A = this chain, B = another copy of it.
Amino acid sequence: MDVAVIGGTGEEGFGLTLRLARAGHHVVIGSRSAEKGGAAAAHANELLGGDANVEGTTNEEAAAVAGVVAVTVPFAGQADIYRVIKPAVPADAIVVDATSPLATAVGGKAWQVVHPWHGSAAEQADVILSQGVRMVAAFHTIAGHALRDLDRPLESDVLVCGDDAEAKAIVGSLIDDIPDLRWVDCGALSMARIAETMTALLVSVNRTYKVKDSGFRIVGRDAWGDART
């Protein structure tokens, strides 16, 4: 599958790039500058070796080529970046927003959040794009640190929120392609109002216990994934 990772030079985006490329997907890293995007892609291909197929370019160009556009940027820049990529995102694309509205966006603490006007960062993104893309919120509770370390088994589940069941299943199939990683359908896109804030709770747990990548594993059922199957 062709996947763009907007903000793919950041830790979360770069980690996601590595995991998806290693699973055989064609990943295009987007960055504010084409040079930085290209350098990150070269670094990813070097780390992965062999058949890895990562390219790098600007955020706009990356968004234009992919059926799935993952956006992994800090909340402070999220709205601006969506406005930049808006003309480029294909009308039928699936957009995966991984933004958590941490209070760091306004000089606050990473274990605190601000409340976006639209309810969640993902709903804000959906309003900005406003062109019939299928918006999915995911990856808020997977530490970038853990994604980047390819030798590390991923224990935390991916909480997936969205109004389009088909889009969630497609994003879910990408997640299933990453060894050990599971996804849980958490309901409508508006449930991102809760899922996004859970990042801050993990930051608090990390801080209390001096760890780097706490996460959540959902219990109460043997298998998760697509609830329709």
Chain A interface (Cβ < 8 Å from any Cβ of B): 111-113, 143, 155-156, 159, 184-188, 190-191, 193-195, 197-198, 200-201, 204-221, 224, 227
In order of increasing CB-CB distance, the 8 nearest A-B pairs are: A214-B220, A187-B204, A155-B219, A194-B201, A217-B217, A216-B216, A208-B227, A194-B197
How far is A218 from B207 in the complex, measured between Cα atoms in Å? Answer: 14
Are A220 and B227 touching (Cβ within 8 A)? no
The answer to whether A221 and B217 touch across the interface, beta carbons within 8 angstroms, is: no
Q: Pick the contact of A205 from B184, B188, B200, B201 — CB < 8 Å?
A: B184
Q: Which residues of B sit under 8 angstroms from A224, Cβ to Cβ?
A: 209
Cβ–Cβ contact A201 & B214, under 8 A:
no
Shortest CB-to-CB span from A181 to chain B, Å, is 12
- What residues of B have a CB within 8 angstroms of the CB of A197 in the complex? 193-194, 197
- Please give, as numbers and ranges, the residues of chain B lying within 8 Å of A216 by CB-CB distance: 216-219
How far is B219's CA from A156's CA once the two chains are assembled, in angstroms?
Answer: 6
A220–B201 Cα gap in the complex (Å)? Answer: 13
Minimum C-beta distance from A21 to chain B (A): 24
Q: How far is the CB of A147 from chain B (nearest CB, A)?
A: 13
